[in-house]
Chains A and B, each alone.
Chain A
Amino acid sequence: ELKVEQNPLFLSMQEGKNYTIYCNYSTTSDRLYWYRQDPGKSLESLFVLLSNGAVKQEGRLMASLDTKARLSTLHITAAVHDLSATYFCAVGEYNDMRFGAGTRLTVKP
């Protein structure tokens, strides 16, 4: 069974600080997705990582994928309040799509 584990589940950061969210998964899939969800809203696609060593960056967020370690990271640089949200990683296989439990990020002044 495909399993996806995210940590931490809760993250409280100060503005300007850096931090990393980790996503471990149990299969050999090379398709890893990161989504953002604001309270009461739907999911917004952030990154799609489709091969080992893939790295993508958008603003203060950078995602990477290591398929050998079955690990993806979402790195936050110099956090700002607008980044406060829940972040999900998700792993796709031929017949399944599983999300991690989500990391609830709060950025404080």
Chain B
Amino acid sequence: DTEVTQTPKHLVMGMTNKKSLKCEQHMGHRAMYWYKQKAKKPPELMFVYSYEKLSINESVPSRFSPECPNSSLLNLHLHALQPEDSALYLCASSGGQALQETQYFGPGTRLLVL
């Protein structure tokens, strides 16, 4: 299985809502990532988990809260988002040490904040 899955595919939320994005992989990868991609822009790294521990937080606002319940799952909890947070949120995973090998990306969750 070489697939990274993400749910939901699309999400519309208000600024006062709380929602979660989910990501799953069964490739035995021990590094998982969250990226944010605005339209016509490159992906921007948000969080990196290595062996279920948060190793890098790219100074992302606290309204985004990552969680790695186990080596196959990665969540991104969203609270009090702003309209400018509307974007495609991509999950990825890789083998070995974090950021050392090629990353496999999920299909993404397209988020719209109203």
Contacts and interface: CB of A to CB of B under 8 A. Distances in A.
Given A95-B56, A99-B42, A45 B99 contact: no
Contacts of A100: 42
Interface stretch (A11-19, A59-67, A75-83, A86-94): A86-94
Interface residues of A, number: 22
B42 A88 contact: yes
Given A41-B107, A42-B90, A99 B102 contact: no
Main secondary structure of the interface of A (DSSP, over half): strand
Interface residues of B, number: 21
A101 B107 CA distance: 20
Contacts of A25: none
Interface string B68-112: 000000000000000000000010100000011111111110000
Interface in B42-58: 42-45, 55-56, 58
B102 A42 contact: no
Contacts of B102: 33, 45, 48
A99 B42 CA distance: 6
Interface of B: 33, 41-45, 55-56, 58, 90, 92, 99-108
